Structure formats: structure tokens, C-alpha cells
Chains A and B, each alone.
Chain A
Amino acid sequence: MKILVCVSVVPDTTTKITFKDNDTIFDKSGVQFIINPYDELALTRAIEIAETNSGSVNVITIGEADCEPVIRKALAMGANEAFRVDAQPINAMFVAHQIAHHAKDNSYDLILTGRESIDYNGGMVQGLIAEILNYPIINVVTELEYKDNKIEANRDIDGGRETVSSAMPCVVSAQKDLCEPRIPNMRGIMMARSKPLSVTEAVGESNYTQVTKYELPPSKTGVKLIDVENAESLIDILHNEEKLF
């Protein structure tokens, strides 16, 4: 049982987002970077499955050298080996091609990602990898089991959930509730220092899409406070002025 977990390095969830160079580049100064929370769930579940099935877990990320401390954390959580493709993750198509290229030569049984990264929120990489490799995809998964040489997963659908099974190899993306993220212990942190972290060059390029500018969403003009004695008047405003119902 050989599992690959794709890890994205993202700004911490409390980060105040600002831009520089005429709003063309995300300003990383002073920003704390973390493992994308959904990828952390994917990694934890991968480690749990590998532990009970005498398997192994590799992690891969696309990023420059400054993301290595975050990758070490993935190793400290329990991944066996890490791969970093030395390039900026310019768009999802580029990232997916790097991961698929690595996976082609390493015969993984299962490839796990988060359901989306919390920086660009694309939610595309998992599907792109699956299609490039011609593997089945199970998207937005809240429960994941490996049994009888098959993957069985619960996934969110609009207004409910469904249970899906798939042969391996396949690609699965993690949603909240999949598991409790594992916190590295001291032994894990020590061991992570000597685990292999290989750096490879990117293959190909992708100029299909590019970000030309960022802006901040329009902010609210100010709250209109309603006295608690007249709380009911909120409903009248929503009905008569905002015409929401």
C-alpha cells in the first residue's frame, strides 16, 4: 500500500491578506505559512491507513525552498519521504502536471489531496491529476476506508452524502470530518530531520491562465444598529426595504 499525499503550503487561516507591486503579488512578509488544513487531514488519514496496512506515505509539494519547514512538519507527522518540485505553483494545471509526472514513475495505490487549498480555493488539482493519470476520482470525502483491495469513501453531495467505492489506484480529496489532524510529537520531529526530502526540477510549463491583479472585496459601509426593544423592526426592514422575502 503506497500512498502519495499532495501538500500545499498556504497562509495561516488568521492571515490578513495584503498585496504589493500594484496589487499584482500577494505580500508574504510577516505571514505565517502552514500545511493547507485539508491536506493535513488527507495526510493524517493516509498515515492511519498506512499504519494498519504496513504501507508507506510520501508527500509532494510544488514550491520554493522557503516552504521546506512546512514540509518537514509533514514528515514529523509521520510521512516517510518528501518530494519538492522546485518551482512556484503558478496555476492548478501546472501543479497537477508536476504531481502526475512524479506519480507516473512511482506506482502509488492511492493519491490523496485536500478538497481545495485555502489560498486559491481552486479545488481543481485532484481532478486534473486523476484525469491525466486516467484514475478514478472521489471528491470531497468525509470518510475513507481501505478494504478488500478497494477504496470506500463517503463524500458530500449537494443536499446530502453518498458512499462510493473504487478500485485502486485512485485519487481522493479530503473534506473536514475525515479525521482529527495529527499533531507531531517530539519523536516525530526528531525523526523528520533525517527523513529524505528530494528536490526535483519542474517539467513543462503552463501559461493557460495567469493572475493579473488582485483586489480586496468591497467592505460594508457600516452597521445599522437596531434597538433591542424594536428588534422586530429588523424583519420589517428585510421585508419592506431589502425585499428579501
Chain B
Amino acid sequence: MAVLVFAESDNGKYKKSSFEAISYGRDLADQLSTSCIAVSIGDKGPENLGQYGAHQEINVQGDVYKTFNPNTYAKTISELSSNIDGQIIILSQTYTGKSIAPLIAIKQEAALVTGIIGMANTSEGFQVKTTAFSNKAVAHIQINQAKKILSIIPNSYQVNTYDSTSEVISHNINISQEDVNTNIVKTEKEIGKIPLTEAELVISAGRGLKSAENWNLVEDLAEALGAATACSKPVSDMEWRPHSEHVGQTGITIKPNLYIAAGISGAIQHLAGVSSSKVICVINTDPEAPFFKAADYGIVGDAFDILPRLTKRISEIKG
């Protein structure tokens, strides 16, 4: 048996969450005294995955993978796991991971657990912790099936490094164009922006910024810091910002290392989307804003005054 990890890449570049998934897979493989095998599909990143813990790396090539289709990716991972006796399959919970994990689960008659936020406990049975109730709780899930698929939330496991390289094996899977069951008509990528789901630093703002034109204050700070930008639900509802920036219970759930919120009061639905951020800083004119209770650092003051001063200070420090 082996632990198989899907190392997801995008345009020939690995996602950081892939390295987290491999480190998770390696730690789990060590616990179970087995090996950790990374699988990349199509154009992979330049890194050798051995440095993150993979004992072996399988790269699958084929024209069919040039565009993403859930069925071809799921079928590939499923067949590989059968070939190498991959009893445990680990994926990162990206949009791609979310689309393929359930398909693999049915193909493999495996138990599927998503939303995982920590290492499995294998001392008695097999248990993992997941988010539940939109980040308002943590659930302990017992898995009673030998074959398991674990979907790990990005930014919830550390990247370990190893002083080793893994052997890269090319592998062919019998997949053809006939397995492609959806067609991509068009793809739009936001160039030069850090995707919110992958960002380690996030600057967010709410209605307190008063209008869409004032967002340069947020963008300037984000650019100085190398952060992604986000917003509250009302801001996205009023179309000041695109919905892809809306974090909260009905928006995107994020867990960056730093979340700075300006002019957001901190309604329970907003907190659900951001409360597992490691460090939370809140800027609000209202000292009674509920967000202060969930924050590590707070400044009672006006975002219009404070944001440019923070931007300036970052420039001074970074030189």
C-alpha cells in the first residue's frame, strides 16, 4: 500500500498547496510505515517533489490533459491508485481538487472526507479533523473504510522540506478524447493578481470605505505588502468589487497568515469566512464593532487616515 498525493499544477507551475499536500502525505506515510507517491498530470512544475517529502513521483502526460476535465483527471488518478495500491489519496481542496475528489471516491469505492485541517490520528482507527458549520466548529470524523480520499484545506498544513530528490517516473494511462465529457469554451485568468484562495496575506475592506472609487487605498496597501484584496458581502452585493473577492459564509473561506479588515463590522457571517486566519487586524471607527472581539490587533480609527499611513510604513521598512 502507498499514500498517493495529487500534485496539482497550473500552466507548468505547482500550486503551493500541492507542497502542503505532499508534506501531509509524507507525514501520514511515515505514521503508517509506507511510501508517499506524488502524481502530477500534464505540464508539471520544475521542482523535484522529493524535497517536500515524496518518495517517488509519477508524471502522466497526454494531449487530453491540456484542458481540465473532471472526468479525465479523476479517472487518471483513480487508475494510478489502483496500479500502485494507493490506499489513501490526498488532494488539496482547490477548485480543481473539489471537482475531482468525489468522482475518484465513487470510482474507487472509497470514503471521502473534505475540509481537513490537521494530521490524521491513526493510533486507534483513522480520524481526521475538518471544518464544520462554516468555520464555526470543528468536527472529528472517523473513517471506517480501507480506501480513503482526504481533501486538505490550503494553508492548513506546513510545508516540510527534505534533503532528498525523488525519482520521476513517466506513466501512461489509457485515456482518450472520448473520456472528456465537458468542453471548455473560454478561460479568463486574472493576470498578475494573487488568487485569494492561495494568498498568505490579505487586505479586506467593507462598507466603511464608502464607495468603489476609494479602493485604491486598499489596493495600494495590498501592493506594498504583496497581499491579495478581499471584501465583505455588502461590498460585493453593491458591485463595488467582484464576487470573487467576497469572503464570508456565502463567499470564499480563507485562512491566510494575515487578514487586515478595514471598515468591516464583523457580522457572524463574515467571521465564518475569515476566523481561522492566523493573525487578524481590525481597523474600525466604531470601538463596539464585534470584529474587535475576534481580532489580534485593533485600531479604533478612520480607514481613510490609517490605510495610507500603513502603506507608507511598509515602503519605509521594505526600502
Q: Are B127 and A209 in contact (CB under 8 A)?
A: no
Q: For A126, give the chain B residue with the smallest CB separation.
A: B102
Q: Which residues of B contact A37 (CB under 8 A)?
A: 250
Q: Is the CB of A137 within 8 A of B95?
A: no
Q: Specify which chain B residues have a CB less than 8 angstroms from the CB of A211 in the assembled complex.
A: 139-142
Q: Which of A43-51, A58-66, A227-235 contacts B (4 or more CB under 8 A)?
A: A227-235
Q: Mark the stretch among B43-51, B162-170, B208-216, B306-314 that contacts chain A.
A: B306-314
Interface size on B, residues (CB 8 A): 94
- The contact of A139 among B99, B137, B144, B253, by CB within 8 Å, is B99
DSSP majority for the A interface? mixed
A121 proximity list for chain B (CB < 8 A): 114-115, 131-134, 253
What mask results when residues 208 to 231 of chain B are scored 1 for a CB within 8 Å of chain A, else 0? Answer: 000000000000000001100000
Provide the bound-state CA to CA distance between A242 and B103, in Å: 41
In the complex, whether B201 has a CB less than 8 A from a CB of chain A is yes
Tell me whether A209 and B296 are in contact (CB under 8 A). Answer: no
Chain A 1-45 against B: per-residue CB contact (8 Å), 1 yes, 0 no? 000000000010111110100000010000000000110000000
Known contacts A121-B115, A237-B297; A13/B249 CB under 8 A? yes
In the bound assembly, the distance between CA atoms of A187 and B192 in angstroms comes to 50
Closest chain-A Cβ to B39's Cβ sits at a distance in Å of: 18
Bound complex: CA A142 to CA B236 (Å): 14
B119 at the interface (CB under 8 A from A): no
Q: Which residues of B contact A55 (CB under 8 A)?
A: none
Given contacts A209-B142, A223-B292, contact A93 B112 (CB under 8 A): yes
A244 at the interface (CB under 8 A from B): yes
Determine the chain B residues whose CB is within 8 A of the CB of A128 once the complex forms.
102, 105-106, 112
Q: B280, A220: Cβ atoms under 8 Å?
A: yes
A158 to B13: give the CA distance in the assembly, Å: 13
> Which residue of chain A is the closest to B10 with respect to CB atoms?
A158
Q: Are B299 and A225 in contact (CB under 8 A)?
A: yes
Determine the distance from Cα of A200 to Cα of B113 in the docked complex, in whole angstroms: 27
The 8 Å CB contact of B317, one of A118, A155, A208, A236, is A236
